[in-house]
């Protein structure tokens, strides 16, 4: 069986419905992989998701059949003391597109965008998500800390692994 092919592009306001659907799917199926919760976002109206796309650089991978199969975004803080570093956030690839190279392509697309506007990119990953850690390490991310009890889901605590990818050495 051939792997599905995909096309990458930055999401636009018109993609809000498809983005909402994939975002909620990721939150529902992998609650420990996101700082946000399904219960918090399911109640948000479509314009809320549209604003996230418009206000942040969110990229998507589209399958040939028109399905939005993966997403990843870059958040850059507005504050003068923080805007030198961005955060890769909201990474999710649907099961049908896993193993196709879409995840790596999304990470690379976010990083290509980030290189023009920030000095480094950080991300947070669950320490037991070995596939994601391999993906991020292959892109150049290195862990710098482990936050114990970073998330509390259904009464259980989950640690987070904090990683960074500096684009250039500080002067």
Burial class (CB in 10 A: 0-12, 13-18, 19+), 49: buried
For the chain, give the mean pLDDT.
Answer: 94
- If you average pLDDT over residues 106-111, what whole number do you get? 98
Which residues, 6 or more positions from 19, have their beta carbon under 8 angstroms from its beta carbon? 11, 49, 52, 53, 58, 60, 68, 71
Which residues, 6 or more positions from 89, have their beta carbon under 8 angstroms from its beta carbon? 72, 73, 74, 75, 123
Q: Say yes or no to pLDDT of 1 above 80.
A: no
Q: Say yes or no to pLDDT of 4 above 80.
A: no
- If you average pLDDT over residues 97-124, what whole number do you get? 96
- If you average pLDDT over residues 78-102, what whole number do you get? 95
Decide if domain 6-166 falls under CATH 3.40.630.30: yes
pLDDT in tens, 26-52: 999 998 899 999 999 999 999 999 999
The encoded tokens of residue 137 equal 């390490």
- If you average pLDDT over residues 11-26, what whole number do you get? 98
Helix then strand count (H, E) for the chain reads 5, 7
Query: With bands split at pLDDT 50, 70 and 90, how would you rate the model's confidence at 5?
Result: confident
pLDDT of residue 95: 94
Task: Please state, in angstroms and as integers, the Cα–Cα distance from residue 154 to each residue in 24, 31, 151, 157, following that order.
Answer: 18, 10, 10, 8
**The pTM is what?**
0.93
pLDDT of residue 3: 60
Q: Say yes or no to pLDDT of 168 above 80.
A: no
Please compute Rg for the chain using Cα positions.
Answer: 16
Q: Is 29 helix (H, G, I), strand (E, B) or coil?
A: helix
Which residues, 6 or more positions from 134, have their beta carbon under 8 angstroms from its beta carbon? none
């Amino acid at each position: 069986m051939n792997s599905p092919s995909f096309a990458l592009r930055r999401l636009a306001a018109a993609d809000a419905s498809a983005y909402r659907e994939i975002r909620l799917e990721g939150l529902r199926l992998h609650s420990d992989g996101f700082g946000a919760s399904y219960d918090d976002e399911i109640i948000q109206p479509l314009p809320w998701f549209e604003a996230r796309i418009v206000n942040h650089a969110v990229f998507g991978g589209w399958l040939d059949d028109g399905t939005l199969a993966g997403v990843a975004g870059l958040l850059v803080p507005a504050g003068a003391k923080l805007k030198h570093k961005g955060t890769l956030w909201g990474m999710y690839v649907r099961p049908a597109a896993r193993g196709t190279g879409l995840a790596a392509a999304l990470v690379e697309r976010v990083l290509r965008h980030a290189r023009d506007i920030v000095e480094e990119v950080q991300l947070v990953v669950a320490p037991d998500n070995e596939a994601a850690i391999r993906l991020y390490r292959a892109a150049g991310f290195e862990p710098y800390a482990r936050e114990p009890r970073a998330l509390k889901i259904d009464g259980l605590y989950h640690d987070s692994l904090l990683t960074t990818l500096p684009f250039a050495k500080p002067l």
